[in-house]
Structure 1
Amino acid sequence: MGTLGYYSTIARLAPVGLARGMVRRVHGKARQALYKQRERLDERGVLAAFGVTSAEALAERALAVRPGGAWCEVGQRDSARTALEAVEGGVERALERAEAALRGEYHVFGVPVSFGEGQPVDWSLDVGSGYRYPVVPVERLKLAQPGVDPKFPWELGRLDCLVALGQGFWVARDEARRRAFARAFVLRALDFLQANPVGEGVQWTCPMDVALRGANLAQALRLFADAPEARRPEFLVPVLQSIAEHAAWVETHLEDGGAVPNNHLVSNFVGLLVMGLLFPELPDAERQTALAVAGLRTQVAAQVHADGSSFEGSIPYHRLSVELFTLALVVARTRGVDLGSVYEQRLLGMFKAARCWTSEHGLAPQVGDNDSGRVFPFREREGREQGYLAPLGAALFGDVGLGGGDFPDEAAWLLGRPGLERFRASRPAPAPVSTSFPEGGFHVLRGAGAVVTVSAGAQGQGGVGGHSHNDKLSFELHLDGRPVIVDPGTGTYTREPAVRNALRSTASHNTLQVDGTEQAPLEPHRLFALPESARARVQVFQTGGELERLHARHDGYRVLSAPVAVERTFLLDKRERALGIVETLVGVGLHEVTGRLHLPDREARLSKPTAGQLARASRVPEAPRSFEAIAVELGPEDSPVAMVLFQEGVCPRLETSRYSPGYGLLVESRVVVFGATLSPPACLRWVVVFG
């Protein structure tokens, strides 16, 4: 149950939420008890739900083509194909995904695995470690074990592969290939259902993944609605039964028991909404849909700030939330379900926010956790990619300051020809400018090819910090679309707790560490909690003209016997193409101060700055009066991208580090380390010259 100190902290942060969470947990136990007592939907119940008396008549009723239906209904096929043909390589990517699914080939967080065409998939296998979870009732399953990660089998078990096969079925021109995709869909779906009985094994341990799997199963069935293989009673009956069981499991296992519900609960509601609207005849679908609509309306207001940022405290999780809320809106619109004006306004703000911090190559900074989480199973995208979101928003909402860029695959599938027309009609939006998201705690300086994203705000999830890091006043620097100084990422969650905690520690971020202390205490066994203590905030945010300025402060080191506060000023000088940093210690005592600049690769070296670089650096406001003779050159040796120059007396060094550009991935990299012994009030200054 954790430590008393942890719960005391949570109680101070969100006492009302903690009390409500306890009540919800009691209700959840009652719901689960009722689930065990409920009568399972049998074949007779399926037939009765759709108003037919024979299994042979079921397909005509359950898979009937509906005019103007959801994106995955057969009536939308021509519209989707037309839109996809307007996307360079869109049709080819869809066929490649379908062919890989046909061959039983997957990439799970960077790990390639092949089960073979027509062969069963080992749905209980953690392909990262080779461990196989036993298929036993979930209450008897030991989920968290050293060296094992349930996210790997969960990723397989979301059944994105079924949607991929449906994509191939829609775009393939060769009838033999279409039939092959349809047969593979039937075999793969039945293989999963037979290998994973309801409530048994790792695939039923996370309601979020159960919900998204149910949504994918429902959407894939609609994609194959006119395939003879999918209309056979021996397939259709168990699949409809399974969709009903997925919805019932999610409804009775809602992830609302925490003090502050998060994206998991949103996923629960999205899954219920999609399953209920695509197959409204199923028992309980009407009630589950109403529950989902009410829940989504509540959670979008609770989990999306008015400034458009996610309350998760993580920019990568912002992407996950955008996809969740978008899928719900797209499906709801086609069924005439109104999610409300607040819902649409907050989602629109999320698209605009993503555009503000995404660099020219479509990459977003890794502030907070990055588990590479996605909802859309239409195209492979790396964990840092968010450049497709703004064009998707333009296609969804029309001309609202999101126009420009390339029409993405996701918009073609979800919105079809009307989405393409809205996108083409939208005016190109002006280039993104410096923007502050005070509620989310993210602040962006842009100009001269640089994007500087600073973390300075409260911990995410209402102060619980589930996906936050000890990264206050840390930043990422992208130059001409390329990440140059980076957050090292997440690496893993429960597989290696020590790695998890190391990568969310102060030393793993581009900020000052004082006397080797953490900004906020890390509890080794609380991998998804980082309660508020640093109180980071921005005090000055000035933009426009040739100089962009951000001044922020945090009090994480007030716990020291000689307490100090840390202040950091960022000065983006567009004329000089340089970023100046002023580190200030405010307080008392004598302190060892260490700064770090984490790099995405090993492309760095100690070097002597040129006279021109020294001259440019010295002209940046508040720059050091004199510089150290040795600087750090970043980028390939034959084409460096930046030089970091430090004030005289601060000698930088390079050390080996590690970088995680996506979940489950770790590559060797370098980190620049510098520091000094300071007695406050004192300052430490350095400058990055680029271009």
Structure 2
Amino acid sequence: MDIKHYLRRAVSLPPHIIIKKMSDKIFRKVEFVRRRQHDMKLPTFTKALSSHDKLDSFFKCVPVELLLPHKDWIIAVTEHYLAHRFDLLGSGWVQVRHGMRCRGVEGHVYYAGREVTPDKDGRWLEGRINRANVTESKRIWRFIDGDYSPINWHLDFKSGYLWSGDTWFQDIPYGHEPGVDIKVPWELARMQHLALLVWAYSLSKNGREGFRQYDVYHREFCNQVLDFIATNPPRFGVNWRCAMDVGIRVSNWLVAYDLFKAHGAEFDREFDSLFLKSIYEHGLHIVNNLEWYSQLHGNHYLADIVGLLFVAAYLPRTPETDVWLAFAVQELVEEVEYQFTSDGVNFEASTSYHRLAAEMVVYGTALIMALPSEKLRALKDYDYRLHHSIPELRPAPTTLYSLEGSEEKTPFPVRYLEKLEKMAEFAMHITMPDGHVPQIGDNDSGRFLKLQPVYQSMTVAGAKMCYNNLDTYNVLPDDTVYWYEDHADHRHLAAAINGIFQRHDFADFATEKQLEYSIVKSLCNNGKFFSYRSKKKNNYKEHDTSDNGLELYTYPGFGLYIYKSKFLYLAVRCGHIGQNGNGGHAHNDQLSIELAIHGVPIIVDPGTYLYTPMPEKRNLFRSTTMHNTLSVSGKEQNTWHEGRSGLFGMLDQAKAKVVEINTHKFLGEHRGFGTVHRRLLDIHERYIHGFDECNLSEKKTVVFHIASGVKIHTTQRDSRLDLHCGKLKVRLSAETGEWSVHESFHSPGYGIIQNCQLVKLQSTQNSIRWLAEIMETK
């Protein structure tokens, strides 16, 4: 960040906040210098823990009948993983290895390094691992199977950029070269694919056809984990740069390891010893690098806390791990209060980040509920003075609350549980008829655990037609099956949360997601919390319903309003920019809409595409002109700072608010253009009448991004055009202005881009009236 950015931030803050931020920054800098000097001289691998120490176990065996419906894609994707092929952040299925050739990002291609010939003694690691750690790395490598080929964990395997494995983690650069995305190695190193190897192991062990011999999946798990440990010494390399990813990785390791054991796999003593030691090293790294800042702590810090919770829950009790557990429980409760509104919605102003944060909360909550009495005693008796990080740990004991109808006590107050339940309600209410959620705000395709990802099959030819950047498949026959992960289906979140509350409407909504429901329910020992709705009884009102069947779900804490019927789905965005005004994951989408008719998406949000690799594309996809609202030439609803410092923040100039709302009317406004833009929507099942008003002399444009698969037919009359999808036809017309059709882009997931079209209605008048009318239906 440049000096101008800091000066701009400084003048906007009160003096005591400036002093606090400066002191925090100075403390962190001094501490980093001390730690860097230490780590450059001495090994960062810790000494071996007691040979008698063992990890606890929480996850139970998953019934094979819950896995059988997913057999086809489990076979296919685990074959990819055995070959070290991964499809992450728009990469396409690509084998990640040393010396590979990468296709590049937007024309930017880097040299990915030379090929390696690994030897059993690990001599190939010399020159790749810093000198103080190379001896231990070579020792660890000797436990890996001789025919195993190493994964290049330090590589952005899209652009080809390679980070050095012997660079201290705080010295790792990012956002410094065009096309380079540090999220790519981070995403791979989260290792969220490991749990899927368990499902293949279980189905193979139960005699299902199409799988390898079951021990192959078990050995691959061990080899990949040891490969990572050997080539990523603690605090060196790109995969220790971000504590969030350390927390997600260690949680996925522990869940996969626990599930393997629950399904009958056995691990040798050497692996268990190295694995347990690395789990401890992950916990140590997290607690010493917490991403908590006095003015803002979001999903990164939540991942830190939940990752530390998993580590402390699984490791044997010691005074140190007791403090980790107590701190993680304390902060999880605090962060749910801080990061989730009274609506149960995450404060990032992003539907996708709501999913990510809520996943962490539900699995963290379920794990705490699964703790045995011996571990729970740590919450009553711990030495808070052993905690030296910011924020502070309160003195013992942790506050416990009685459960309704039970003598059991938990650290969860009623408000926490109500918010958790509402997290699932939000996911349920905003879901479109096709099972997808609207892309409001950023979507980085981030997940905590991927126990039941949604895969869809298509041919390679179809994939190349749909997605511009899947050209790695030009070496395969066009009729080859391509398995594509659907990032917009959030129903698994409601299923997981329903494992705690066991509500019938959640079960009906997430019928196909029984796997995560079963896993969370078993973690909670089949117990459940009472629904907050049962306390409200007849006074509870979930939503408003009109005479013509339209239901209205309002989420003012997010700034999202959903109109639903059996026929129509309309989402309207109007609210704050998130993160307590920082707007790091918000877009300039105020008064933007998404529309589906009979389950068919018609008008869609274009998504996110990329973050730091292409700053100009980052800013394009979050700009006003890329959203289904009114734009004014040369103006943004909210501005952001130039350069890398402005990529994750914006100034809340719009101050959007809802003026009036009911089941057939929405009236909202914002002030981002220096004057008021007001949008009135008259909503009926067969039509939506829009009225945009903005008193500026500049040219104004009402934009609609049209879903792929919808064809646009223009007519002789410029005042209208027709949108066709099968037998469905939607007519767009206007009293004034001129319609035009343009080429644009749509990003259904991070790093993925496809062609689409957008429609513009341009006018110089201050008032623009338009009509979206359903002419034909299926």
Task: Report the AA paired with residue 46 of structure 1.
Answer: L
- The answer as to 2:162 corresponding to 1:46 is no
- The answer as to 2:630 corresponding to 1:512 is yes
- CA distances 1:548-583 after superposition (whole Å, capped 9, x unpaired): 21100000111xxxxx31100122212xx1111111
User: Structure 1 residues 334, 417: closer, same or farther in 2, change over 3 A?
Assistant: closer
Alignment partner, residue 550 of structure 1: 666
Q: Spell out the pairing of 1:217-236 with structure 2 (5 A cutoff).
A: 217-225=253-261, 231-236=267-272
Larger displacement relative to structure 2 (144-153 or 2-11): 2-11
Task: Report the AA paired with residue 138 of structure 1.
Answer: F
Mapped partners of 2:240, 2:315: distance in 1: 22
Mapped partners of 1:210, 1:290: distance in 2: 20
Tell me if the contact between 2:740 and 2:759 (Cα under 8 Å) persists in the aligned partners: yes
Tell me if the contact between 1:247 and 1:272 (Cα under 8 Å) persists in the aligned partners: yes
Q: Alignment partner for residue 164 of structure 2, among 120, 124, 134?
A: 134
C-alpha deviation, 1:447, in angstroms: 2.5
Tell me if the contact between 2:45 and 2:233 (Cα under 8 Å) persists in the aligned partners: no
Mapped partners of 2:54, 2:80: distance in 1: 29
Mapped partners of 2:673, 2:18: distance in 1: 27
- The answer as to 2:2 corresponding to 1:2 is yes
C-alpha deviation, 1:516, in angstroms: 2.6
Mapped partners of 1:534, 1:243: distance in 2: 46
3-state DSSP of counterpart to 2:496: helix
User: Structure 1 residues 456, 416: closer, same or farther in 2, change over 3 A?
Assistant: same
Mapped partners of 1:582, 1:198: distance in 2: 58
- CA distances 1:80-102 after superposition (whole Å, capped 9, x unpaired): 21xx6246614555455444322
- The answer as to 2:412 corresponding to 1:340 is yes
Alignment partner, residue 704 of structure 2: 597
Tell me if the contact between 1:370 and 1:383 (Cα under 8 Å) persists in the aligned partners: no
Task: Report the AA paired with residue 235 of structure 1.
Answer: F
Task: Report the AA paired with residue 280 of structure 2.
Answer: A
Task: Report the AA paired with residue 634 of structure 1.
Answer: L
Mapped partners of 1:137, 1:245: distance in 2: 15
Unaligned runs of 5+ in 2: 98-146, 377-409, 455-485, 535-541
Mapped partners of 1:210, 1:581: distance in 2: 47
User: Structure 1 residues 635, 250: closer, same or farther in 2, change over 3 A?
Assistant: farther
Mapped partners of 1:676, 1:579: distance in 2: 20
Alignment partner, residue 625 of structure 1: none
- CA distances 1:656-675 after superposition (whole Å, capped 9, x unpaired): 00110100011111010111
TM-score normalized with structure 2 length = 0.75
Tell me if the contact between 1:35 and 1:248 (Cα under 8 Å) persists in the aligned partners: no
3-state DSSP of counterpart to 1:243: helix
TM-score normalized with structure 1 length = 0.84
C-alpha deviation, 1:462, in angstroms: 0.5
Task: Report the AA paired with residue 755 of structure 2.
Answer: E
Alignment partner, residue 490 of structure 1: 608
Tell me if the contact between 2:55 and 2:315 (Cα under 8 Å) persists in the aligned partners: no
Tell me if the contact between 2:702 and 2:760 (Cα under 8 Å) persists in the aligned partners: yes
- The answer as to 2:447 corresponding to 1:374 is yes
Q: Alignment partner for residue 301 of structure 2, among 255, 259, 265?
A: 265
Q: Alignment partner for residue 330 of structure 2, among 286, 294, 302?
A: 294
Alignment partner, residue 489 of structure 2: 385
User: Structure 1 residues 515, 390: closer, same or farther in 2, change over 3 A?
Assistant: same
- The answer as to 2:714 corresponding to 1:656 is no
Larger displacement relative to structure 2 (126-135 or 227-236): 227-236
Larger displacement relative to structure 2 (485-494 or 471-480): 471-480
Tell me if the contact between 2:252 and 2:449 (Cα under 8 Å) persists in the aligned partners: no
Q: Spell out the pairing of 1:15-414 with structure 2 (5 A cutoff).
A: 21-26=21-26, 28-29=28-29, 32=32, 45-47=48-50, 55=51, 58=52, 62-63=54-55, 70-71=58-59, 76-77=60-61, 80-81=62-63, 85-86=65-66, 89-90=69-70, 93-111=73-91, 112-115=93-96, 118-135=148-165, 136-144=167-175, 145-173=177-205, 177-225=213-261, 231-257=267-293, 259-281=295-317, 284-335=320-371, 338-341=410-413, 342-381=415-454, 382-399=486-503, 401-405=505-509, 406-408=511-513, 409-414=515-520
Q: Alignment partner for residue 444 of structure 1, among 523, 544, 562?
A: 562
- The answer as to 2:772 corresponding to 1:687 is yes
- CA distances 1:263-319 after superposition (whole Å, capped 9, x unpaired): 000000010001110223467221111111111111111110001221001111111
- The answer as to 2:722 corresponding to 1:633 is yes
Mapped partners of 2:493, 2:265: distance in 1: 35
User: Structure 1 residues 41, 206: closer, same or farther in 2, change over 3 A?
Assistant: closer
Alignment partner, residue 119 of structure 2: none
Alignment partner, residue 616 of structure 1: none
Unaligned runs of 5+ in 1: 48-54, 559-563, 610-627
Mapped partners of 2:688, 2:15: distance in 1: 42
- CA distances 1:377-416 after superposition (whole Å, capped 9, x unpaired): 2132422212333333333212275341314132233334
Mapped partners of 1:605, 1:645: distance in 2: 13
User: Structure 1 residues 16, 683: closer, same or farther in 2, change over 3 A?
Assistant: farther
Identity %: 26
Tell me if the contact between 1:323 and 1:374 (Cα under 8 Å) persists in the aligned partners: yes
Q: Alignment partner for residue 758 of structure 2, among 671, 675, 683?
A: 671
User: Structure 1 residues 398, 670: closer, same or farther in 2, change over 3 A?
Assistant: same
User: Structure 1 residues 89, 473: closer, same or farther in 2, change over 3 A?
Assistant: same
Task: Report the AA paired with residue 748 of structure 2.
Answer: P
C-alpha deviation, 1:685, in angstroms: 3.0
C-alpha deviation, 1:603, in angstroms: 3.1
Mapped partners of 1:14, 1:550: distance in 2: 37
Mapped partners of 2:259, 2:507: distance in 1: 30
Tell me if the contact between 1:362 and 1:388 (Cα under 8 Å) persists in the aligned partners: no
Task: Report the AA paired with residue 440 of structure 2.
Answer: V
3-state DSSP of counterpart to 1:177: coil
Mapped partners of 1:7, 1:293: distance in 2: 37
Mapped partners of 1:14, 1:411: distance in 2: 47
Mapped partners of 1:467, 1:335: distance in 2: 34
User: Structure 1 residues 401, 379: closer, same or farther in 2, change over 3 A?
Assistant: closer
Matched residues, number:
631
Tell me if the contact between 1:352 and 1:390 (Cα under 8 Å) persists in the aligned partners: yes
Mapped partners of 1:257, 1:143: distance in 2: 20
C-alpha deviation, 1:35, in angstroms: 5.8
User: Structure 1 residues 314, 230: closer, same or farther in 2, change over 3 A?
Assistant: same
- The answer as to 2:693 corresponding to 1:584 is yes
Task: Report the AA paired with residue 344 of structure 1.
Answer: L
3-state DSSP of counterpart to 1:134: coil
C-alpha deviation, 1:252, in angstroms: 0.7
Alignment partner, residue 128 of structure 2: none
User: Structure 1 residues 94, 448: closer, same or farther in 2, change over 3 A?
Assistant: closer
Mapped partners of 2:706, 2:16: distance in 1: 42
Tell me if the contact between 1:522 and 1:530 (Cα under 8 Å) persists in the aligned partners: yes
Larger displacement relative to structure 2 (451-460 or 175-184): 175-184
User: Structure 1 residues 300, 422: closer, same or farther in 2, change over 3 A?
Assistant: closer
User: Structure 1 residues 87, 339: closer, same or farther in 2, change over 3 A?
Assistant: farther
Backbone CA RMSD of aligned residues? 3.2
Tell me if the contact between 1:98 and 1:167 (Cα under 8 Å) persists in the aligned partners: no
Mapped partners of 2:223, 2:187: distance in 1: 19
Mapped partners of 1:471, 1:233: distance in 2: 55
C-alpha deviation, 1:190, in angstroms: 0.7
